[in-house]
Chain A
Amino acid sequence: MSTANGTPPLLEVLRLRKHFPLRGGVLQRIHAWVRAVDDVSFDVYPAETLGIVGESGCGKSTLARLILRLIEPDAGTVRFAGEDVRGASPPRMKRLRRDMQLVFQDPYASLNPRLTIEDAVAFSLLVHGTPRVEARERARAMLGRVGLDPRLYGRRYAHELSGGQRQRVNIARALVLDPRLLVLDEPVSALDKSVQAQVLNLLQELKAERALTYVFISHDLNVIEYVSGRVLVMYLGEVVETGTADALARSPKHPYTQALFASAPSLDPDRRMERPPLAGDPPNPIDPPSGCRFRTRCAFAMPRCAEAPPALRQVGATHEVACYLYEAEAAVAP
């Protein structure tokens, strides 16, 4: 599926699926399903950053929670370093949780208002049996590493900190367990542009320093391009295109990816609005369109797009796209 450079993937996600039931009425009968994540597969290799991009509501956050088994998938497998995460026994799961951590999107809701940030970071260590004094010491060191002087901030509560500072606490809390994989669910979306850059640079430094592997989820293409080596484009719970960040930026194949790049604000005047940006809202994931889910907003939709969903097809060495436009090798990019 991706760079076959010999090393086994750190994280393998295979045909992962999660549909949420919608219940209603007195008897709480299920009357519809939200197809949040539908047959998503990808691999993440050690030390790389896989970016996952898509509009809000396309299942990115659900995917993050599925990977970490915060919610149980309906089908599919997640393997971490070859080990099946879904089938892990509770003690084994607890061990696995040290190796894969999550940084949350909302810097306000993700910190317990009743804990000092030092205690919030130390909590993860205490859970894994680190003695109290040592846990506090390590938490303080970690806070210092993410740019929050523990002498100034350690005893403060989350509501006394700014959004950027809180996100640093979140990062410290995730990293204090020394994970190998960090899933970042829109880690900078709630922050100002200037603070975003600081936090992104901090994440890049930490990654190099601790040999981390990132799964970086964002709706912001500029952010994704900046941090990712490889990018996965999601639309309504499905993967529509994968490739290196460079390849995607240079020649996006899927009409949705093209629209995403066209609508991303760019500083390069030549790249602005070459194509009409995406019109309308994404269709309701409760009842997605038949066949290709993007066809209702696609400028190139053909009759067959409604019949069956296109499969991911190789269009370059590390570039795959799920679109009928590229079925023939000779297909000309629109």
Chain B
Amino acid sequence: MAITTARPDELAARVTAPMSYWRTVAWRLARDPATLVAGAVLVLIVLSAVLAPWLAPYDPNAGSIRLRLAPVGAPAHLLGTDEQGRDMLSRLLWGGRMTLVAALTPVVIGFVLGTGLGVLAGYVGGLTNTLVMRTMDIFYAFPAVLLAIAISGALGPGLPNTLISLSIVFVPRVVRVAESATVQVKSLEYIAAARASGAGVRAIVRHHLLANVLGPILVFASTQVSLSIILAAGLSFLGLGVTPPAAEWGLMLNTLRQSIYVNAVVPALPGLAIFVTSMAFNLLSDGLRDAMEIRA
């Protein structure tokens, strides 16, 4: 990665033709080393998850009784094998797939539904606001982990139920951020100016409100991805999420935990994967937050 400096002619071009907002954000992101590293790591993780069927050397569910808990670097098994003799590399690749789906989907659902409800509550105000926000407060009153466990416990194990329970965790959080951003933006004079020019609610929300609240909400949602990864893995660890024999990082952590006295390194691998992925998402969202700030 070379650090590029703008040539004078490039600078001149920039002065006469200012960049659009999103290009400015991308330009700033590309200049932040921590974000770049985190981004690169995430690209690798996502690619490895997407390409798991082609990358994985073995069937993730095919075990061999004689080859249980092979150490890292064992012949033919680069990252060793688990307690049933299944290839760890293959399981980690396939597990990333499952973990990312289980973690990202609820955040996306939370982002979409939460933004809708939050903007509605914030813009309409009054009774609508009270109804929406107090309902959200009910969910918000429980710690995230407890709520996810309680809902998953009630719905039963399985990926769809995990997605539902995690979405219920994230919607209220996004609603709160969306509502407060909306209330703040709504009181600004450019909204009043748009009303004074005769614009209807739809045009105002679309062109003036959403453009200014989506940024902060997006940044907040991105901070929730790491939490979602840990919650999704946690639910599987507790047996409430993805069901065996499917590979999922949290579930792998659970089934491998008794083996930690036999081979300490192999059981730590799914934990390491969870840590690195959530860390990378955190760094990326920090970078995003800084890059999206409007500087005078």
Contacts and interface: CB of A to CB of B under 8 A. Distances in A.
A105 B189 contact: yes
A111 B196 contact: no
B268 interface: no
A261 interface: no
B18 A160 contact: yes
Per DSSP, are chain B's interface residues mostly helix, strand or loop, or mixed?
helix
B185 to A, nearest CB: 9
Contacts of A3: none
Interface in B231-255: none
A170 B189 CA distance: 11
Nearest to A110: B189
A112 B208 contact: yes
Interface in A85-108: 93-95, 97-98, 101-102, 104-106
Interface residues of B, number: 23
B197 A112 contact: no
Nearest to A177: B197
Contact of B190 (A111, A128, A156): A111
A173 B198 CA distance: 12
Contacts of A157: 18, 21
B192 interface: yes
Interface in B155-214: 188-190, 192-200, 203, 207-208, 211-212
Contacts of B195: 70
B6 interface: no
A65 B17 CA distance: 37
Interface string B42-62: 000000000000000000000
A109 interface: yes
A106 B189 CA distance: 8
B294 interface: yes
27 contacts: A65-B192, A95-B198, A97-B196, A101-B196, A101-B197, A102-B192, A102-B193, A104-B193, A105-B189, A110-B193, A112-B207, A112-B212, A113-B212, A113-B294, A114-B21, A115-B211, A120-B190, A123-B194, A124-B199, A127-B199, A127-B203, A155-B18, A156-B18, A157-B18, A157-B21, A173-B193, A173-B197
Interface of A: 65, 68, 70, 93-95, 97-98, 101-102, 104-106, 109-115, 120, 123-124, 127-128, 155-157, 159-160, 170, 173, 177
Given A114-B211, A127-B199, 7 more contacts: A65-B192, A102-B196, A105-B189, A115-B208, A159-B295, A159-B296, A170-B193
Interface of B: 17-18, 21, 188-190, 192-200, 203, 207-208, 211-212, 294-296
